[in-house]
Amino acid sequence: MEIGMLPISASKRGKLLAAGYTTLHSIATTSITHLATDIEVSESEALEILNFATRNSALERSSGSNTNVIQGGQTAWDMLNEERFSSSITTSCADLDNILGGGINCKEVTEIGGVPGIGKTQIGIQLAVNVQIPLDYGGLGGKAIYIDTEGSFMVERVLQIAEACIEDMSEYSHHFHKDNQAYGVKMHPNSILENIFYFRVCSYTEQIALVNYLDKFVTEHKDVKIIIIDSVTFHFRQDFEDMALRTRLLGEMSLKLMKLAKNFSLAVVMLNQVTTKHVEGSFQLTLALGDSWSHSCTNRIILYWNGDERHAYIDKSPSLKSASAPYSVTSRGIRNSTSSSKRIKMV
Amino acid sequence: MAPLNSLEKEYPLIDSNFQIFCASHAIYSVEDFLLHDIDALFTSATNCSSSQKLNQGIHQLLSIIDALHPPLLNGLQLVEDARQNKHVFSTGCQGIDALIGGGLRVGQLTELVGPSSSGKTQVCLMSASTVAKHNCSVIYLDTGNSFSPQRVAHFIGQSSDYVSGNQADRRLLQNVLDRIICYPVFDVYQMFDLLHQLKNNLRSKIGKSDRHVKLLIVDSISSLITPILRGSGPQGHTLMISAGFLLKQLAHEHNITVLVTNHVVGGDDGNSKPALGESWKSVPHVRLLLSRDCGGKVCNMSIIKHPAMASGRTATSVRLFV
């Protein structure tokens, strides 16, 4: 049934079928007035349906061109060359950056999950500050969108991390441009705070509405380079009676985030909570939101405690090796772990 | 097909006289015509005036219908077609090839099912690189931004810092990578658009022998279908089955191998089962289940369904991360 493939409402589809239109070709060959009277809709709605149907037939007629590539695709060679120039957002921890291949990549959706208190929000805030590092210092010079669902965003902490970041940058410029004294850092912590767009959502409908709105927002603010959602689970865990609805909503939200990441070349970071799963007689800690959600990210990093140290482990990635790295949360933000074992453990 | 009155423009035999005659038998569209008893129609046509024109009209309709269905083939023609066109493509991993009887067969829809991080995308990337190395085109529909050209370059055998390689190596790599085309798809309707365009392109290019598309990968089809399944009404199911049908039609008519990936959900008794439900089970020709031991480097693959191999056979694939 080719009519089923048109993105129109169920009632219009029913009317089309009742009037005898079962293929796209049959709709494409009628006129607007004919269609409108046959299925009793307004002329503008008939025009809309006609446009959907003729799109396909127009492609049929224009397929005599020489292009092998259908609209919208890219060859792997072009993508490989593009990857060389795409930058990543540093996490300020060299070990973590190493296992991530430079940092959090743009055009990808990364999920970071862990037990409470492991430092997820700290990583989120650090990334929101680090994305603003200017291009001269190896950063992206972009802005950040921070979507807060739990209320754990503390502005004083952001100020602290921003000041520490600026101090690090001026130290770096001191080291490498010792002769050029005029190379001072022109950033002020307030300007870093200004470039973080903060949204507070209080229910799952608000969260979904915001993700739908982000497309328009990012079109207006083209220099946004990272979207952090802290945490993506919170509103979907409490009292959701209809699990099927939850799966559908989450699936759609993840597709929209993937589309945002790809179309605007930005990084999307989702912070997730943990839950227990009964596997082969024992209880294991896994990320929340179920099996279907585990496929909605490109990369997944799991944070865990190893003795007294915080570690990050790459659980899923199409191109990175599974490895874990230690990191620590200091008053200046996320930094390298100060333990004696400085080597990255390859799993 | 359209209501009868819209056929009048192209086929003047189906004029208003004929339509009034059909209306008297409650026939308004071609479907009604097919459901009606043709012999009864012929006899009542001979009883009317202008019976010759009416007879011609009925014959005209029958010939229109005949022109629309695909050709009927006998067994010998099918065997010839299988021998000439339906080859087997290696996936790039010997263990997997041995498990599924040589590799991915042209004309079949193969499904990879598995929990997260069990190696589904890796198998897809490896198959894409192997097929591209053999001078054939690959179309990769990516829903999760997980197509990694670096990984594909790795599989093709060059090192990841290809810049330092010599010119000949680079050109070779470029030739192979140019045959793999990746489309980011985030919407089931977008996928349908793309597949229809592909079908039209292939139909109009019959006879051109270079750069034939031989492998179509949809990674993953479950993330496109899950948001619309079990919503209000059976629309989601219709789209899922239509998608499966369209993929199988592309595979058979244009001699392509189709590979799709699916995820698992928790079943009633705690075991995981493939997503997309019972209706999807019969759609793919070959279903393979992947699993990875927690934190291990070895992935296991077993057959759930295969037209030629016994199900339940397992293989342990070699370490995927070198």
Tens digits of per-residue pLDDT, A302-336?
A: 998 888 889 998 888 888 888 889 999 988 888 88
Model confidence at A178: pLDDT above 70 = no
Mean pLDDT, residues B115-133 = 88
Contact between A173 and A185 (Cβ < 8 Å): yes
Nearest-CA distance from B156 to chain A in Å?
Answer: 12
ipTM confidence score: 0.82
| pLDDT on residue A185 | 61
Mean pLDDT, residues B180-202 = 88
Answer yes or no: do B196 and A278 touch at CB < 8 A: no
The first and second tokens of residue B202, run together, are 């292939």
Answer yes or no: do A291 and B201 touch at CB < 8 A: no
Reduce the DSSP state of residue B8 to 3 states and report it. coil
B117 touches chain A (CB under 8 A): yes
User: What does the angle CA B1 – CA B199 – CA B103 come to, to the nearest 5 degrees?
Assistant: 130
Reported as a pLDDT band with limits 50, 70 and 90, residue A63 is very low
Q: A13: nearest CA in chain B?
A: B235
Does A2-60 match A81-336 in CATH topology?
no
| pLDDT on residue B3 | 64
Cα distances (angstroms) measured from residue A202 to each of A9, A151, A232, A236, A309 = 30, 9, 12, 11, 33
B224 touches chain A (CB under 8 A): yes
B3 touches chain A (CB under 8 A): yes
Nearest-CA distance from A168 to chain B in Å?
Answer: 31
| CATH T-level assignment (fold) for domain A2-60 | DNA polymerase; domain 1 (1.10.150)
Instruction: For residue range B265-298, list pLDDT tens digits in order.
Output: 877 666 778 888 888 888 999 999 888 876 667 7
Answer yes or no: do B187 and A255 touch at CB < 8 A: yes
Instruction: For residue range B69-98, list pLDDT tens digits in order.
Output: 777 888 998 888 888 888 888 888 878 888
Q: Which residues in chain B have Cβ-Cβ distances shorter than 8 Å to A77?
A: 149, 173-174, 177-178
Mean pLDDT, chain B, whole residue set: 81
Q: Which residues in chain A have Cβ-Cβ distances shorter than 8 Å to B265?
A: 290-292
Answer yes or no: do A76 and B182 touch at CB < 8 A: yes
B196 touches chain A (CB under 8 A): yes
Reported as a pLDDT band with limits 50, 70 and 90, residue A18 is confident
Reported as a pLDDT band with limits 50, 70 and 90, residue A344 is low
The position carrying tokens 């590979």 is: B259
| pLDDT on residue A59 | 53
Mean pLDDT, residues B139-167 = 76
What is the distance between the alpha carbons of residues B121 and B261, in angstroms, rounded to a whole number? 8
Contact between A254 and A294 (Cβ < 8 Å): no
| pLDDT on residue A69 | 55
Answer yes or no: do A258 and B143 touch at CB < 8 A: yes
| pLDDT on residue A269 | 94
B315 touches chain A (CB under 8 A): no
Whole-structure pTM value: 0.84
Contact between A319 and A108 (Cβ < 8 Å): no
Nearest-CA distance from B308 to chain A in Å?
Answer: 31
| Residue A137 buriedness (CB in 10 A; 0-12 / 13-18 / 19+) | middle
Contact between B218 and B191 (Cβ < 8 Å): yes
B31 touches chain A (CB under 8 A): yes
Answer yes or no: do A5 and B266 touch at CB < 8 A: no
Contact between A8 and A49 (Cβ < 8 Å): yes
| pLDDT on residue A61 | 52
Model confidence at B176: pLDDT above 80 = yes
The position carrying tokens 């990516």 is: B142
Model confidence at A64: pLDDT above 50 = no
Q: Which residues in chain A have Cβ-Cβ distances shorter than 8 Å to B164?
A: none
Mean pLDDT, chain A, whole residue set: 82
Q: What is the DSSP code (8-state) at residue B270? A: S
- Top pLDDT among B169 and A141 is at A141
| pLDDT on residue A207 | 92
Model confidence at B210: pLDDT above 60 = no
Nearest to A79 among B115, B182, B295 (CB): B182
Answer yes or no: do B115 and A316 touch at CB < 8 A: no
Reported as a pLDDT band with limits 50, 70 and 90, residue A239 is confident
| CATH T-level assignment (fold) for domain A81-336 | Rossmann fold (3.40.50)
Q: Which residues in chain B have Cβ-Cβ distances shorter than 8 Å to A30?
A: 2, 6
Nearest to B239 among A4, A74, A318 (CB): A4
Per-residue burial over B270-295, b = 16 or more CB atoms within 10 Å of its CB, e = otherwise: eebbbbbeeebeebbbbbbbbbbeee
Instruction: For residue range A33-56, list pLDDT tens digits in order.
Output: 777 777 777 778 778 877 777 766
In chain A, where are the structural domains located? 2-60, 81-336
Q: Which residues in chain B have Cβ-Cβ distances shorter than 8 Å to A284?
A: 294
Q: Which residues in chain B have Cβ-Cβ distances shorter than 8 Å to A23?
A: 1
Answer yes or no: do A4 and B146 touch at CB < 8 A: no
**CA nearest neighbour of B138 among B261, B17, B259:** B259
Residue type, A276: T
Answer yes or no: do A318 and B265 touch at CB < 8 A: no
Q: Which of A23-37, A61-75, A105-119, A214-228 has the lowest mean pLDDT?
A: A61-75
Specify which of B177-186, B232-241, B309-318 reaches the highest per-range mean pLDDT. Answer: B177-186
| pLDDT on residue A337 | 83
Contact between B71 and B77 (Cβ < 8 Å): no
